Structure 1
Amino acid sequence: MHHSRLSTLVFDCRTADLKQAADFWSQALGKPVVSYDQDGDGKYAELATLADEPIILLQRVDHDSRVHLDIETDDLEAEAKRLESLGARRIDLVRGRWWVMEAPSGQRFCVVQKQREAFGPHLNRWE
């Protein structure tokens, strides 16, 4: 048995100025910026969200700008297999920490380890 849930909305931004993108989305969504450099590598900015809301990240990328979802889980391999059984396919294991996957309808999304200390209450339970 494992659990998963919608974790994060990720704004993939093809830009040299992630701060400008973060400021725009902060004002557009009414969510203050928590960090302009979440991991210290200049690739991620984070907006403030409540504990029961999805995390909102902005990610500096080299591909076209888009939005993707992250699904968090307490068992990465079990969740990737479950999604494959629904027709998704694995694209890439990134840094050995998360899977980039593709839905049968063509959208890319990520399966990641749990992102917040409190992992509930809106969990799906899979057996």
Structure 2
Amino acid sequence: MTGMALYWKLIIDAAEPHALADFWAAALEYVVEDPGQLVAELLRNGDLPDSATVIHVGTRRFAELAAVRHPDDPFDPFSGAGRGRRILFQAVPERKTAKTTKNRLHIDVHDSERPLEDLARKLELLGATRVELVDQGPAGTWWVMRDPEGNEFCAVGA
């Protein structure tokens, strides 16, 4: 055993991976990964067709993939890929099928300094919508929310 924790990435299907990455980077105060150097080299070597890329925030990126990483975690400066806590958004042709079907996995956004109402308002300004206020008494109160593509998550304030 090496004594080092494993790094991970959560994969989320998306219609617009770059827009969803931008939302989650702002919501979590993460960094959107920039694979521009890697993409440029793959294009230069003929290993990636231009049609598989897109210009986003001034750099050429993979058209169907975008990722965010925790700002304190290490990352590969050439590929932009984090080596810690990451979320990868991959383009899929189908949208989430039903808003009434609960996600089997979801993110809880915790803010230990900001009151719940302020956190929910911040997330709404970024494009989230409120679904339901859950009050479990002493166990806590939180908002069930949806990101811009309808994926559920919970907002938990101070």
Shorter-chain TM-score bucket reads 0.3 to 0.5
**Larger RCO: 1 or 2 (CA < 8 Å, sep 6+):** 1
> When the two structures are superposed, what TM-score results if normalisation uses the length of structure 1?
0.38
Higher-Rg member (1/2): 2
> When the two structures are superposed, what TM-score results if normalisation uses the length of structure 2?
0.31
Q: Which has a greater percent of helix?
A: 2
